[in-house]
Structure 1
Amino acid sequence: MMEWKNTADVVIIGGGIIGVSTAYYLALNGVKDIVLIEKGTICGGSTGRCGAGIRAQWGTEMNCRLGIAALDIFEQLDQELGMSVGLNQGGYLLVAYNEKELETLRKGMELQNSLGIKSRQINLQEARGICPGLAADDAVGFFFHGRDGHADPFLTTFAYLEAAKRLGVTCHRHTTCTGILVENNVVRGVETDRGTLHAPVVINCAGAYAQFIARMAGIEIPNWAERHEIMITEPVAPGVCPCMLMSFSGNYYIQQRPHGSIICGMSPAGHPEDFENKSTWQFIEEMSKTLVRLLPRTRGIRIARQWSGMYDMTPDAQPIIGETDVKNFYHSTGYSGHGFMLAPVAGKILAQHITGKKPDIDFSMLDYRRFARGEHIRESNVV
Structure 2
Amino acid sequence: MATDAVASGTAPLPRSAAVVIVGGGVIGASIAFHLAEAGVTDVVLVERDTPASGSSGKPIGGVRAQFSDPLNIRLGQRSLEAWRAFAERPGADVGLRDVGYLFLLADDEQLETFREGVEVQNGLGVPSRIVSPREAHALCPYLDPGSIVAAAWCPSDGYALPGAAVGGYLRAARALGATVRTHCAVTGVDASGGEVRAVRTTAGTVRTGTVICAAGAWSREIGAMAGLDLPVTPLRRQIALTGPLSPPPPRVPFTLDYGSTLYFHGDGAGGLVLGLSDPDERPGFAREYSEEWLDLFRAAAARRAPALAGVPVRGGWAGLYEMTPDRNALIGEAPGSGRFLYATGFSGHGFLQAPAVGEVVRDLYLGRTPFLDVGPLAADRFDGPASSGVRPEAHII
TM-score (normalizing by structure 1): 0.96
Among residues 318, 324, 333, which one is paired with 1:323 in the alignment? 333
Supply the AA of the counterpart residue of 1:250: S
In the alignment of these two chains, the number of paired residues is: 383
Residues 23 and 216 in structure 2, CA contact (< 8 A), matched pair in contact too: yes
Q: For 1:53 and 1:280, locate their aligned partners in 2 and report how far apart those are by CA, in whole Å.
A: 22
Residues 13 and 177 in structure 1, CA contact (< 8 A), matched pair in contact too: yes
Aligned equivalent of 2:227: 218
- Give 3-state SS (helix, strand or coil) of 2:184's partner: coil
Superposition deviation, residue 158 in structure 1: 0.4
Q: For 2:59 and 2:190, locate their aligned partners in 1 and report how far apart those are by CA, in whole Å.
A: 32
Deviation readout 1:162-221 (Å, 9 max, x if unpaired): 111111110010000000111112112211011111111100000000001101111112
- Give 3-state SS (helix, strand or coil) of 1:297's partner: helix
Superposition deviation, residue 293 in structure 1: 4.4
- Give 3-state SS (helix, strand or coil) of 2:146's partner: coil
Supply the AA of the counterpart residue of 1:78: A
Q: Which runs of 5+ in 2 are unaligned?
A: 1-9
Residues 288 and 318 in structure 2, CA contact (< 8 A), matched pair in contact too: yes
Residues 205 and 332 in structure 1, CA contact (< 8 A), matched pair in contact too: yes
Aligned equivalent of 1:382: 396
Q: Which moved more, 1:6-15 or 1:286-295?
A: 286-295
Q: 1:358 to 1:238 in 2, by over 3 A?
A: farther
Structure 1 residues 360-375: aligned runs within 5 Å: 360-374=371-385, 375=387
Q: For 1:232 and 1:288, locate their aligned partners in 2 and report how far apart those are by CA, in whole Å.
A: 14
Aligned equivalent of 1:273: 283
- Give 3-state SS (helix, strand or coil) of 1:69's partner: helix
Supply the AA of the counterpart residue of 2:106: Y
Aligned equivalent of 1:160: 169
Whether 2:52 is the aligned partner of 1:52: answer no
Q: Which runs of 5+ in 1 are unaligned?
A: none
Residues 51 and 230 in structure 1, CA contact (< 8 A), matched pair in contact too: no
- Give 3-state SS (helix, strand or coil) of 1:90's partner: coil
Residues 53 and 151 in structure 1, CA contact (< 8 A), matched pair in contact too: yes
Supply the AA of the counterpart residue of 1:125: R
Q: For 2:299 and 2:59, locate their aligned partners in 1 and report how far apart those are by CA, in whole Å.
A: 21
Superposition deviation, residue 269 in structure 1: 1.7
Q: For 2:192 and 2:36, locate their aligned partners in 1 and report how far apart those are by CA, in whole Å.
A: 26
Q: For 2:115 and 2:167, locate their aligned partners in 1 and report how far apart those are by CA, in whole Å.
A: 37
Among residues 51, 76, 81, which one is paired with 1:42 in the alignment? 51
Q: 1:201 to 1:362 in 2, by over 3 A?
A: same
- Give 3-state SS (helix, strand or coil) of 2:103's partner: strand
Whether 2:343 is the aligned partner of 1:332: answer yes
Runs of 4+ deviating beyond 4 Å: none
Residues 209 and 338 in structure 2, CA contact (< 8 A), matched pair in contact too: no
Structure 1 residues 77-156: aligned runs within 5 Å: 77-156=86-165
Superposition deviation, residue 241 in structure 1: 5.3
Residues 23 and 34 in structure 1, CA contact (< 8 A), matched pair in contact too: yes
- Give 3-state SS (helix, strand or coil) of 2:87's partner: helix
Residues 13 and 206 in structure 2, CA contact (< 8 A), matched pair in contact too: no
Residues 132 and 239 in structure 1, CA contact (< 8 A), matched pair in contact too: no
Residues 136 and 150 in structure 2, CA contact (< 8 A), matched pair in contact too: no
Residues 58 and 381 in structure 1, CA contact (< 8 A), matched pair in contact too: no
Q: For 1:30 and 1:367, locate their aligned partners in 2 and report how far apart those are by CA, in whole Å.
A: 26
Q: For 1:192 and 1:83, locate their aligned partners in 2 and report how far apart those are by CA, in whole Å.
A: 30
Residues 223 and 334 in structure 1, CA contact (< 8 A), matched pair in contact too: yes
Supply the AA of the counterpart residue of 1:353: L
The alignment-based identity, stated in percent, is 33
- Give 3-state SS (helix, strand or coil) of 1:103's partner: helix
Whether 2:254 is the aligned partner of 1:254: answer no
Residues 236 and 286 in structure 2, CA contact (< 8 A), matched pair in contact too: no
- Give 3-state SS (helix, strand or coil) of 1:279's partner: coil
Structure 1 residues 4-23: aligned runs within 5 Å: 4-23=13-32
Q: For 1:227 and 1:301, locate their aligned partners in 2 and report how far apart those are by CA, in whole Å.
A: 23
Supply the AA of the counterpart residue of 1:365: P
Among residues 278, 289, 297, which one is paired with 1:287 in the alignment? 297
- Give 3-state SS (helix, strand or coil) of 1:81's partner: coil
Supply the AA of the counterpart residue of 2:394: S
Whether 2:196 is the aligned partner of 1:187: answer yes
Supply the AA of the counterpart residue of 1:84: D
Q: Which moved more, 1:111-120 or 1:320-329?
A: 320-329
Deviation readout 1:315-370 (Å, 9 max, x if unpaired): 11110111113120011001001101100100111101211222111111111111
- Give 3-state SS (helix, strand or coil) of 1:307's partner: strand
- Give 3-state SS (helix, strand or coil) of 1:78's partner: coil
Among residues 339, 358, 365, which one is paired with 2:369 in the alignment? 358
Q: For 1:146 and 1:233, locate their aligned partners in 2 and report how far apart those are by CA, in whole Å.
A: 25
Supply the AA of the counterpart residue of 1:199: T
- Superposition RMSD on alpha carbons, in Å? 1.6
Q: For 1:282 and 1:258, locate their aligned partners in 2 and report how far apart those are by CA, in whole Å.
A: 26
Residues 298 and 310 in structure 2, CA contact (< 8 A), matched pair in contact too: no
Supply the AA of the counterpart residue of 1:272: R
- Give 3-state SS (helix, strand or coil) of 1:94's partner: strand
- Give 3-state SS (helix, strand or coil) of 2:235's partner: strand
Q: For 1:253 and 1:246, locate their aligned partners in 2 and report how far apart those are by CA, in whole Å.
A: 4
Supply the AA of the counterpart residue of 1:33: D
- Give 3-state SS (helix, strand or coil) of 1:161's partner: helix
Supply the AA of the counterpart residue of 1:100: E
